[in-house]
Amino acid sequence: MIAVVQRVYSATVYADGERSGSIERGLYILLGVEATDDTTDADLLIEKLHKLRIFSDENGKMNLSADDIGAEAMLVSNFTLCANYVHGNRPDYLSAAKPKEASFLYDYALQRATTCFKKVASGRFGADMRTDMSTDGPVTIVLESEKLRKKPRQK
């Protein structure tokens, strides 16, 4: 899984022209599901996003996590994060999960996020979406579950 996360003051997503969800201070997360992903990938990403210290403390240092500040989260599915852009100028999306599997893992990640974040909002899988947001910083980070899987376990 690939997640592009932005720290936001607020965000609202519209799916097929209708308001689908909104959040206040927290994380706006674009989520791309790859064909090789499973629930472990979702668990790793959501846990990391929840604990990632990217919110400012009283001294202006990024020292607080979403958990520390009671942040909200918005998850929006985005298969284009799985783009292969190496050959030619037209990306392919062959590494993206098929819609049925991607939808299942997106819903799983969404459910998992509800156990970690104060409030969770979402787009609608497969819909044409538009987002209005007020970024904070801006702080934007790309996370890949594959990299988290390779992290050696601390004892």
Q: What is the pLDDT of residues 27-78, one digit of tens each?
A: 999 999 999 999 999 999 999 999 999 999 999 999 999 999 999 999 999 9
Q: Is the pLDDT of residue 153 over 70?
A: no
**What is the SS3 assignment for 44?**
helix
Range of the domain at 79: 2-144
**What is the SS3 assignment for 23?**
strand
Identify the CATH number of the domain in which residue 123 sits: 3.50.80.10
Write the burial class of residue 55 (CB in 10 Å: 0-12 exposed, 13-18 middle, 19+ buried): buried
Amino acid at 40: T
Respond yes or no on whether the N-terminal peptide bond of residue 99 is cis (omega within 30° of 0): no
For residue 152, being part of any structural domain is answered with no
- Residue 150 — very low, low, confident or very high, per pLDDT cuts 50/70/90? confident
pLDDT score recorded for residue 154: 55
pLDDT score recorded for residue 130: 96
Work out how many domains the chain is built from and give that number.
Answer: 1
For residue 119, being part of any structural domain is answered with yes
77 and 33 Cβ atoms separated by less than 8 Å:
yes
Q: Is the pLDDT of residue 16 over 90?
A: yes
Supply angle C-alpha 39, 63, 77, rounded to 5.
Answer: 30
The Cα–Cα gap between 94 and 96 comes to: 5
pLDDT score recorded for residue 149: 87
Q: Is the pLDDT of residue 123 over 80?
A: yes
**Average pLDDT of the residues of the chain:** 95
For residue 150, being part of any structural domain is answered with no
